[in-house]
Amino acid sequence: MKLDQLKSAVIGLVLGTTNDFNTAIAGEFYYVENPLDYDKVKYPYGVYQFVSGSVDRDTATKFDEIIMQVTIYDDNSSSSNVTALGNKFDALFDECEASLTLTNYIVLGVDQISEPREMKTLNGNWQWSKDYKIQLQRN
């Protein structure tokens, strides 16, 4: 699996389309980490990364299964905003297989595989995270 294709597809869906999540985070969505210095970070923002995966095959076809973790951060004193942002991301991404486009793969499914996790970070910000399974078939 070429991760660059999947990274581009995720960014294209999240930032390249008009959607409630992108509007709410003002385009602040990054791969693995926010590139800004800590004192220049704009809240809220989100990051995503691929945390696991596997390859399977039958007699004629190879299948890739990727686990993607999304984490959203917010400096609001209440968890309600980070919860709302998580719900907006979930509405965009869960079961988005028809909207996620890759060149050499058919997207068979995109599904949440965990309940959302909310917690406070060491610096007092709210964090929401959730895992999604992306199932691909090679063309």
Q: What is the mean pLDDT of the segment spanning 32-37?
A: 94
For the chain, the three-class secondary structure string (H helix, E strand, C coil) is CCHHHHHHHHHHHHHCCCCHHHHHHCCCEEECCCCCCHHHCCCCEEEEEEEEEEEEECCCCEEEEEEEEEEEEECCCCCHHHHHHHHHHHHHHCCCCCCCCCCCEEEEEEEECCCCEEEECCCCCEEEEEEEEEEEEEC
Residue 39 burial (10 A CB sphere; 0-12, 13-18, 19+): exposed
Considering the chain, what is the average pLDDT of its residues? 91
pLDDT value, residue 110: 95
| Tens of pLDDT, residues 50-63 | 998 777 766 667 78
pTM above 0.75, yes or no: yes
Q: How long, in residues, is the chain?
A: 139
Q: Which fold has domain 3-138?
A: STM4215-like (3.30.2000)
